[in-house]
Amino acid sequence: MNRNRFIYKCTDCGREYGNRETVYLCPSCSAANSLSEPPAGVLNVFYDYPGVRKKNPGFSILKKSGYIDLLPIASVDSLPPLRVGNTPLYTLNSVGGERVDFRLHLKDDSQNPTWSFKDRASALVSAYARENGLGTIVTASTGNAGSSLAGICASQGQRTVVIVPEKAPLAKLTQIIMYGATLVPVKGTYDEAFDLSVSASSEFGWYNRNTAYNPLTIEGKKTVSFELYDQLKYTVPDRIFVPVGDGVIISGIYKGFEDLLLLNIIDRMPVIVAVQSENSDNLVRNLPAKKFSVVPSSTLADSISVDIPRNFLMTRRYMQKYGGEAVTVTDEEILGASSLLSRTTGLFAEPAASAAFAGLLLYRHNNRIRENSDNVVMLTGSGLKDLKAVSGTVRMPQSIHPAVEELRNLFR
């Protein structure tokens, strides 16, 4: 097995580490981490880009191989048998029934096996564990990452432990149990579940999937960038609107396009817009801050409800390096965007995913979208994941007797 094709590099100090052993955080930078701030020492994965470029002289060859030379595994055969990725990209020329002078692309990752973008990360973590003989895989989750890992590992016959806040959405907890994982609800927040999962990895020797802790999760999530480039006929979009919680999805999208930059396949980075709820803005609000501060999250969009964004430092560096943008939206705007999206496109996204669409609507309202530009909205999870959050916007009609006269009166 070829295990020398990539290295780990610390986002903060730049120190490099080989891949002979499982590595999570940079030992040097993470030594002083506290529970009240985003962790330092998050690692990124880098490849022999000149070697990859020589072997793959063009994107089409890279795609044909399943991007294996840009993945930290030995073979695509180690990936789960479920179809992960290659999700639809819908192109529209109207928003809410009104024609617009730009192109709107909706990347629907709710079409992944467990109806979540998180399957991209889970698939790669599962494949790595399979190739390296790692047993139980543990993760902390507000629901999507846990149900994703549980489903993906069920297809691979791997044991999974998922630690969640006890108030996580019932639909996601049901998924986790149905997939056969061991569910551990905790009386606390996601951040507390995260810390417990890290302690469990140390105590029991479990392999940890946590985002912004396991560097391979970003490698899984970056594959959406390759797909976007392919689906947009080898062009780079002008803007990508991304819902943000921990900052791992947005970092993954940056990483995918950065890989293509390093291979000289593309010559520019898209403008990536981080969208957060005003009620959970701990990443966006701290971008210009000299000292990180926490405001307890209270958004209804549970998947992006985070007090301490674990991938904050990497996200900020990517956004500063490549000119990223940030915006916050209200929970009311998120629900409105979810409703508009559903009834005008037939795509029912959970609130966390709808936040990205709300961000685009706000940009449009403020005339910030250039004519004839290409704009992608990342829809990262199905609305069926969290029905409770949208229940207040749904009015169930009263029943009628099965008679034509009553139906006639209803529509009169």
Strand partners of residue 303: none
Q: What is the mean pLDDT of residues 311-338?
A: 97
Place of tokens 């810390």: 195
Q: Among 155, 90, 71, which residue's Cα sits nearest to residue 119?
A: 155
C-alpha–C-alpha distance, residues 87 and 309, integer Å:
27
For residue 178, give every residue at least 6 positions away whose Cβ sits within 8 Å of its Cβ, in sequence order, or none.
none
Instruction: Report residue 147 as tokens.
Output: 């149900």
Check residue 292 and give its pLDDT: 96
In whole angstroms, give the CA distance from residue 356 to residue 63: 27
Q: Cβ neighbours of residue 385 under 8 Å, at least 6 residues apart?
A: 115, 116, 143, 144, 169, 171, 172, 303, 350
Q: Could you identify the residue written with the tokens 């961000």?
A: 359
Mean pLDDT to the nearest integer, 316-342: 97
Look at residues 286, 298, 378, 292 and name the one whose alpha carbon lies nearest to residue 337.
378
End-to-end, the C-alpha distance of the chain in Å comes to 71
- 75 by Cβ neighbours in 10 Å (0-12 / 13-18 / 19+) ranks as middle
From edge to edge, which strands make up the β-sheet containing 137-140? 182-186, 160-165, 137-140, 207-208
Helix extents (H) in 232-311: 248-262
**14: which 2 tokens?**
């730049």
Per-residue model confidence as pLDDT tens digits over 273-310? 999 999 999 999 999 999 999 999 999 998 899 999 99
Q: What is the DSSP code string of 360-396?
A: HHHHHHTT-S-TT-EEEEEE-BBGGG-HHHHGGG--P
Instruction: List Cβ neighbours of 335 (8 Å cut-off, separation of 6 or more).
Output: 300, 351, 354, 389, 390, 392, 393
What integer pLDDT is reported at residue 2 of this predicted model? 45
Single-letter residue type at 108: D
Parallel/antiparallel/unpaired status of strands 6-10 and 16-17:
antiparallel
Q: What is the pLDDT of residue 4?
A: 54
Residue 191 has a pLDDT of 84
Q: pLDDT class for 382, splitting at 50, 70, 90?
A: very high
Helix (H) or strand (E) holding 335: helix 331-345
Measured between alpha carbons, how far is 239 from 322 in angstroms, rounded to an integer? 12
Contacts of 233 (CB under 8 A, 6+ apart): none
Here the contacts of 283-291 (C-beta below 8 Å, separation 24 or greater) are 283/244, 283/245, 283/246, 283/247, 283/309, 283/312, 283/315, 284/244, 284/326, 284/327, 284/328, 285/328, 286/312, 287/316, 287/319, 287/326
CA angle 79, 84, 86 (to 5 degrees): 125
Whether the predicted pLDDT of 74 surpasses 90: yes
Tell which residue, 150, 133, 120, 318, has the closest CA to residue 216.
120
| Confidence bin at 327 (pLDDT 50/70/90) | very high
pLDDT in tens, 173-210: 999 999 999 999 999 888 899 999 999 999 999 999 99
Residue ranges and CATH numbers for the domains of the chain are 89-114+217-393 (3.40.50.1100)
Q: Provide the pLDDT for residue 20.
A: 85
> Residue 140: helix, strand or coil by DSSP?
strand
pTM over 0.75: yes
Q: Token pair of 5, please?
A: 């094709």
Does 50 score more than 50 pLDDT?
yes
The string of pLDDT tens digits covering residues 147-181 is 999 999 999 999 999 999 998 888 889 999 999 99
Confidence of residue 391 (pLDDT cuts 50, 70, 90): confident
The residue to which tokens 């790692």 are assigned:
134
φ/ψ of residue 258, rounded to 5: -65, -40
Q: What is the pLDDT of residues 222-276, one digit of tens each?
A: 999 999 999 999 999 999 999 999 999 999 999 999 999 999 999 999 999 999 9
- If we measure between CA atoms, which residue out of 86, 85, 65, 87 comes closest to residue 77? 65
DSSP secondary-structure letter at 19?
S
At 184, which helix (H) or strand (E)? strand 182-186
Going 376 to 377 to 381 to 383, the CA torsion angle's sign is negative
Spatial distance between the Cα atoms of 374 and 89, rounded to a whole number of angstroms? 12
- The two structure tokens encoding residue 265: 């396949």
Secondary structure class of 113 (helix, strand, coil):
coil
Report the mean per-residue pLDDT for the chain: 94
Phi and psi at residue 142, to the nearest 5°: -90, 0
Work out the angle at residue 80's Cα, subtended by the Cα atoms of residues 1 and 230, and round it to the nearest 5 degrees. Answer: 90
Pairwise CA distance, residues 315 & 1, whole Å: 32
